[in-house]
Homo-oligomer: A and B are copies of this chain.
Amino acid sequence: MAGSEAKKVLRKDGEHTVKVALSPTLTIGDGSFVVIAGPCALENTDQVEKASSAVKNAGAHVLRGGAFKPRTSPYSFQGLGEVGLKLLAEQGKKLRVPVISEVMEVNQLALMLDYVDVLQVGARNMHNFSLLREVAKAGRPVVLKRGFGATLEEWLLAAEYLLDGGTDQVILCERGIRSFDNTLRNTLDLAGMAWVKERSKLPVIVDPSHSTGVRSLVIPMALAAAAAGADGIMVEVHPTPDQALCDGPQALTPAMFEQLMQALPPLLSATGRSLAHHTLSAVSGGAR
């Protein structure tokens, strides 16, 4: 990558890596491992409450849930919109964890900022440069997913739009690319994640849910991501995956998520790392 046009996202000699503050009490990029979890789509009060308390109780650091869903078909469930954001924010406050949700267009941005701690730019919008510029101005931490048809270099250059736009609070998220083999939903490019981690000063996390599309592969790939040095994972959990309105087959049950959260600490410990933790002041003062 001698000829990379990316400059700001690359690691320079002697320069600290970027630590992104997901909340006043939670940081990613300091070597510890952050777990973001929750349902693919926010569906209703009961589902959001059950999913949220399940993931929080098992030890998740950040709560996720989609309110605006980019769907390939105009006839698929498009998300609850602001109603969903409210549900998510309520759970975040109640459980004292920061929340993340995807922003799909510039016009949603102001609304999103009222409810979420972390913004997500989805794979289909990685090349939406107008959106990237506006998100950068918001200054809120942002998870930038890799496009499923984007090279590693293009991913770094999309992040460069954010850094050039004035923020360095950027987390990269590998979520699988397309390959000729369609057995699984996507092909998880863990080596690409490690390659980016080596070159960029930004934290990099992995999404084992969208990348595989298969529940039983989520835990093995989450552990693999941890072993390979990722800064965290973003995992989908649903109280009753069979009834999910979106991507049920890849959602972990609460019991499986708990199993994952128990498997992570010894594995991280084997490579000298540990799960992230909210700092003490957080416990007393609330996540936000």
CB contact between A164 and one of B74, B127, B181, B184 (< 8 Å): that residue: B74
The verdict on A101 contacting chain B, using a C-beta distance below 8 Å, is no
A161 to chain B, nearest CB (A): 5
* Contact across chains for B271 and A267 when beta carbons are under 8 A apart: yes
* Contact across chains for A74 and B160 when beta carbons are under 8 A apart: yes
Q: Which residues of B contact A130 (CB under 8 A)?
A: 104-105, 107
| Stretch of A15-23, A26-34, A188-196, A251-259 on the interface side | A188-196
* Contact across chains for A217 and B194 when beta carbons are under 8 A apart: yes
CA distance A152 to B72 in the complex (A): 12
* Contact across chains for B188 and A221 when beta carbons are under 8 A apart: no
Count the copies. 4
A143 to chain B, nearest CB (A): 18
Q: Which residues of B contact A226 (CB under 8 A)?
A: 227
Residues 119-159 of chain A, each 1 if its beta carbon lies under 8 Å from chain B, else 0: 00000110111110000000000000001111111100100
A235 to chain B, nearest CB (A): 14
Kindly identify, within residues 33 to 48 of chain A, every residue whose CB is under 8 Å from any CB belonging to chain B. Answer: none
The verdict on A266 contacting chain B, using a C-beta distance below 8 Å, is yes
CB contact between A225 and one of B104, B212, B216, B224 (< 8 Å): that residue: B224
The verdict on A288 contacting chain B, using a C-beta distance below 8 Å, is no
| Stretch of A56-64, A110-118, A172-180 on the interface side | A172-180
A155 to chain B, nearest CB (A): 9
* Contact across chains for A263 and B267 when beta carbons are under 8 A apart: no
Q: Which residues of B contact A187 (CB under 8 A)?
A: 177, 179, 187, 189, 191-192
The verdict on A182 contacting chain B, using a C-beta distance below 8 Å, is yes
* Contact across chains for A224 and B228 when beta carbons are under 8 A apart: yes
Cβ-closest chain B residue relative to A177: B179
* Contact across chains for B220 and A5 when beta carbons are under 8 A apart: no
If A190-B221, A220-B227, A226-B227 are given as contacts, then 18 extra A-B residue pairs at C-beta distance below 8 Å, sorted by A number, are A72-B157, A74-B129, A104-B130, A105-B128, A152-B181, A178-B180, A181-B189, A187-B189, A188-B190, A191-B217, A194-B217, A194-B221, A195-B217, A224-B227, A266-B270, A267-B267, A267-B270, A267-B271
A interface with B by C-beta (< 8 Å) = 1, 5-6, 70-76, 104-107, 124-125, 127-131, 147-154, 157, 160-161, 164-165, 177-184, 187-192, 194-195, 198, 208, 211-212, 214, 216-217, 220-221, 223-229, 263, 266-267, 269-271
